[in-house]
């Protein structure tokens, strides 16, 4: 160990001890730091409270922080990706889903074999990401793949939460990440697993040092690279799974701690493991201290605080990496096949009409005969007041989302550009939640206005940070991940604080067309009437912008002003969509890709088919959500995610195969 790293580590150890003393002195009945430590030696009740109330929380915080930090370090070594962690690779989301599913369907299994359940979920998520990424461990690809896998598992989890609300009510705070411990049972369960795994990692650390030299060098030195990587993955997933079992999914510690350790000067894995144990534990204790400072009278999820702390760090890493990397361009650009436009337009139109008719004929429990549908439309006020506006609004909102996606992808020349992936949907959701939960007496008009304001503020932040890098896909993606994490953390805090209204908020966050009316149709219709002529008028300019700034400027296009105007237009479309139906993801990303694959990238050809595809996707999701578990409804946003995530994963796999060749 060099002198400078040793001194830095000693200071970290000292800070960790101070943090531990502060941590155990906090609590709902705390009398202050100095008073607590004076009373604890003279008051037997205070001593018991310390031994059986606060020390278990301190112990589990240290164990969880150490486990998450070392797991992140191992994953970054295995993938050669500085952004790898249990949260970014979808391991947390997979483990969380399996715990929720087991709690609902196999409660005995969840209680007796909890570690097996969480580890199975983590392994499934890791295998999916590894299979899709293949041999290419490009940071953009692996981050995007992990993001989509996380969205996929989160969609399944959200569906189960809404359908089995009573069965999973006790998992809500745990699902956001909490160090709350009522006794030593959590520590007694986690300690043997975590400590044993850390010791094994320390003993085999030299195998991971060899991997840093490159696979060819490692093979030349007699190293079994496959065995080393499998061992590293298993150790990391086991550490992450144990922490999820006890404290829930807590993100960002696995990203921040390994980078801080490297900045301290540690490079060999044995010393890095020791340093990560201290730094990771200190980070999680710091987050828990801040959470209890903010809310001294109620329990808030520490996972929300780690996200708020970690998001700026992720942005810093993005900016640091942008100085070393060139713009990589679009990730999901597939081979374009141009066919006759009329065929696709006709087929898409027929599909839309058929889905609309089927949707109008479904009354909540059964379908109306086709021959009786005209009579119902004429004489049944329920059909006219509820079914018709819901079907028309669903199609219109799908068009708005698709138009937003095609604008953002074209103007930014980035196929990752979408309101949900870039964090705009998350920002809009936070502001809407404020009015739904905090300002409940405010007029309903403030919900869409709040969503619009949140979306604009979010997009402004994304553009401000990514402008200097020329809107690199990496920067845009990481900004989206960071903002989405902060948005999710703020929403978790709001839901925990206002759990009485959590059911309504969860439905809105999942994205649902339930309750849409003719009033919403006016909003959608006016928006489309204003926006579509603008897009059509500037269609040729969009095509020019897609070729690059130099060529666009040479042809007389004010690229900066036009790009800013179109981004704002795309964000406004997304914000209006969110304000009407809630946080529905993927349509703005899926519809342009599907249409572009069929008809090519030229805007005047692409736009009509994109709108039809977007509208039909949401219409289909709404219909499936109504029919699947009738009379219960699954929010359309969950159905869209279940449809969209596998398709995007397929595109990623296809693109990775083309890149590998």
Report domain extents, the chain: 3-8+71-177+186-321, 341-660
Task: Identify the pLDDT of residue 334.
Answer: 40
Question: What burial letters (b/e) apply to 472-510, b meaning 16+ CB within 10 Å?
Answer: bbbbbbbbbbbbbbbbbbbbbbbbbebeeebeebbbbbb
What is the rounded distance in angstroms from the CA atom of residue 53 to the CA atom of residue 646? 45
What whole-number distance in Å separates Cα of residue 128 and Cα of residue 151? 13
Evaluate whether 459 touches 299 at the Cβ level (below 8 Å): no
Burial 152-175 (b: 16+ CB within 10 A, else e): bbbbbbbbbbbeeeeebeebbbbb
Q: Is residue 435 exposed (0-12), middle (13-18) or buried (19+ Cβ within 10 Å)?
A: buried
Quote the pLDDT of residue 339: 45
Q: Is 442 exposed, middle or buried (0-12, 13-18, 19+ CB in 10 A)?
A: middle
DSSP string for 384-417:
IIIIHHHHHHHHHHHHHHHHHHHHHHHHTT-TT-
pLDDT of residue 466: 72
Asked whether this chain's domains 3-8+71-177+186-321 and 341-660 adopt the same fold, the reply is: yes
Asked if 74 and 201 count as a contact pair (C-beta separation under 8 A), the reply is: yes
> DSSP assignment of 54-77, as one string?
IHHHHHHHHHHHHHHHHHHHHHHH
Q: Which long-range contacts (CB under 8 A, 24 or more apart) does 215-222 make?
A: none
Contact criterion met (CB below 8 Å) for 273 and 73: yes
Give residue 450's pLDDT. 81
- Identify the bridge partners of residue 164 per DSSP, sorted by sequence position: none
107 Cβ contact list (under 8 Å, min separation 6):
none
Query: Which residues have C-beta within 8 Å of that of residue 555, sequence separation ≥ 6?
Result: 544
Q: Is 362 helix (H, G, I), strand (E, B) or coil?
A: strand
DSSP conformation class of 436: I
State the Cα–Cα distance between residues 77 and 592, nearest whole angstrom: 36
Helix (H), strand (E), coil (C) string for 507-561: HHHHCCCCCCCHHHHHHHHHHHHHHHHHHHHCHHHHHHHCCCHHHHHHCCCCHHH
Burial class (CB in 10 A: 0-12, 13-18, 19+), 293: exposed
Indicate the CATH number for domain 3-8+71-177+186-321: 1.10.3470.10
Q: Using alpha carbons only, what angle is made at residue 421 by residues 102 and 323, rounded to the nearest 5 degrees? A: 120
- The backbone torsions φ and ψ at residue 315, rounded to the nearest 5 degrees and listed phi first, read -65, -40
pTM: 0.77
pLDDT at 336: 37
pLDDT at 1: 47
Could you give the maximum distance between any two Cα atoms of the chain, in Å?
86
Annotate 120-148 with b (16+ C-beta within 10 A) or e (fewer).
bbbbbbbebbbebbeeeebbbbbbbbbbb
How many angstroms separate the Cα of 117 from the Cα of each of 98, 113, 156, 250, 652? 6, 6, 16, 17, 28
Q: What is the pLDDT of residue 186?
A: 87
Which pLDDT does position 396 carry in this prediction? Answer: 92
Instruction: Please give the class, per CATH, of domain 341-660.
Output: mainly alpha
Sequence-distant (≥ 6) Cβ neighbours of residue 99 within 8 angstroms: 110, 114, 117, 118, 121, 171, 244, 245
pLDDT at 302: 86
**Residue 362 φ/ψ, nearest 5 degrees:** -90, 120
SS3 content of the chain, % helix, strand, coil (to 5): 75, 0, 25
Three-class SS state of 367: strand
Report the pLDDT value the prediction gives residue 328, as an integer from 0 to 100.
42
Q: Mean pLDDT by 10-residue block, N- to C-terminus, for the chain (661 residues)?
A: 69 88 71 66 68 85 95 89 82 90 85 83 87 66 75 80 75 78 86 95 91 79 84 92 89 89 88 93 91 73 83 72 49 42 78 84 72 68 80 92 88 71 82 76 69 83 73 69 79 71 67 81 88 86 70 68 78 84 83 84 85 91 84 82 77 63 55
């Amino acid at each position: 160990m060099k002198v400078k790293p040793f001194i830095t580590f000693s200071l970290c150890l000292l800070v960790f001890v101070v943090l531990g003393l502060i941590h155990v002195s906090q609590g709902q009945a705390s009398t202050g730091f100095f008073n607590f430590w004076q009373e604890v030696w003279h008051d037997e009740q205070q001593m018991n409270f310390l031994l059986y109330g606060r020390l278990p929380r301190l112990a589990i915080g240290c164990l969880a922080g150490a486990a998450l930090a070392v797991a992140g370090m191992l994953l970054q070594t295995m993938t050669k990706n500085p952004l790898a962690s249990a949260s970014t690779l979808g391991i947390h989301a997979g483990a969380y889903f399996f715990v929720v599913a087991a709690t609902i369907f196999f409660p005995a299994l969840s209680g007796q074999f909890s570690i097996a359940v969480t580890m199975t979920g983590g392994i499934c998520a890791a295998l999916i990401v590894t299979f899709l990424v293949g041999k290419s461990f490009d940071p953009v690809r692996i981050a995007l793949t992990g993001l989509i896998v996380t969205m996929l598992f989160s969609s399944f989890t959200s569906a189960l939460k809404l359908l089995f609300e009573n069965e999973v009510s006790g998992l809500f705070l745990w699902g956001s990440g909490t160090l709350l411990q009522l006794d030593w049972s959590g520590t007694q369960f986690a300690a043997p697993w975590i400590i044993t795994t850390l010791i094994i990692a320390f003993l085999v650390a030299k195998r991971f040092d060899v991997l840093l030299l490159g696979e060819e060098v490692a093979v030349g030195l007699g190293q079994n690279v496959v065995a080393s990587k499998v061992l590293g993955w298993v150790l990391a997933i086991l550490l992450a799974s144990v922490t999820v079992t006890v404290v829930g999914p807590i993100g960002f510690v696995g990203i921040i701690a390994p980078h801080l350790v490297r900045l301290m000067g540690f490079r060999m894995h044995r010393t890095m493991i020791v340093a990560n144990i201290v730094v990771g534990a200190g980070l999680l204790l710091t987050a828990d201290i801040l959470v209890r400072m903010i809310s001294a009278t109620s329990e808030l999820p520490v996972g929300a605080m780690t996200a708020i702390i970690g998001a700026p760090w992720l942005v810093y890493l993005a900016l640091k990496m942008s100085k070393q990397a060139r713009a990589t361009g679009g990730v999901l650009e597939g081979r374009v096949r141009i066919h006759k436009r009329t065929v696709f337009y006709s087929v898409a139109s027929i599909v839309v009409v058929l889905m609309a008719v089927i949707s109008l004929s479904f009354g909540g429990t059964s379908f109306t005969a086709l021959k009786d549908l005209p009579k119902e439309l004429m004489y049944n006020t329920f059909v006219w007041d509820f079914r018709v506006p819901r079907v028309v609004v669903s199609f219109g909102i799908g068009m708005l989302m698709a138009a937003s996606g095609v604008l953002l992808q074209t103007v930014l020349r980035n196929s990752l550009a979408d309101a949900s992936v870039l964090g705009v949907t998350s920002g809009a959701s936070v502001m809407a939640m404020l009015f739904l939960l905090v300002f409940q007496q405010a007029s309903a008009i403030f919900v869409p206005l709040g969503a619009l304001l949140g979306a604009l503020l979010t997009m402004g932040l994304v553009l401000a940070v990514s402008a200097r890098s020329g809107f690199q896909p990496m920067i845009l993606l990481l900004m989206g991940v960071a903002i989405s994490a902060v948005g999710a953390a703020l929403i978790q805090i709001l839901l925990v604080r206002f759990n009485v209204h959590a059911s309504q908020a969860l439905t809105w966050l999942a994205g649902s067309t339930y309750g849409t009316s003719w009033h919403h149709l006016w909003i959608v219709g006016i928006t489309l009437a204003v926006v579509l002529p603008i897009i059509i008028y500037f269609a040729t300019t969009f095509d020019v912008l897609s070729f690059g700034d130099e060529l666009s400027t040479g042809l007389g296009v004010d690229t900066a002003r036009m790009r800013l105007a179109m981004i704002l237009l795309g964000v406004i479309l997304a914000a209006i969509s969110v304000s009407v139906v809630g946080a529905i993801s993927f349509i703005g990303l899926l519809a342009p890709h599907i249409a572009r694959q069929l008809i090519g990238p030229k805007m005047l050809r692409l736009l009509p088919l994109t709108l039809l595809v977007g509208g039909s996707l949401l219409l289909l999701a709404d219909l499936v959500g109504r029919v699947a578990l009738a009379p219960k409804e699954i929010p359309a946003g969950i159905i869209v995610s279940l449809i969209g995530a596998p398709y995007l994963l397929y595109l990623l796999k296809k693109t990775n195969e083309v890149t590998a060749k």
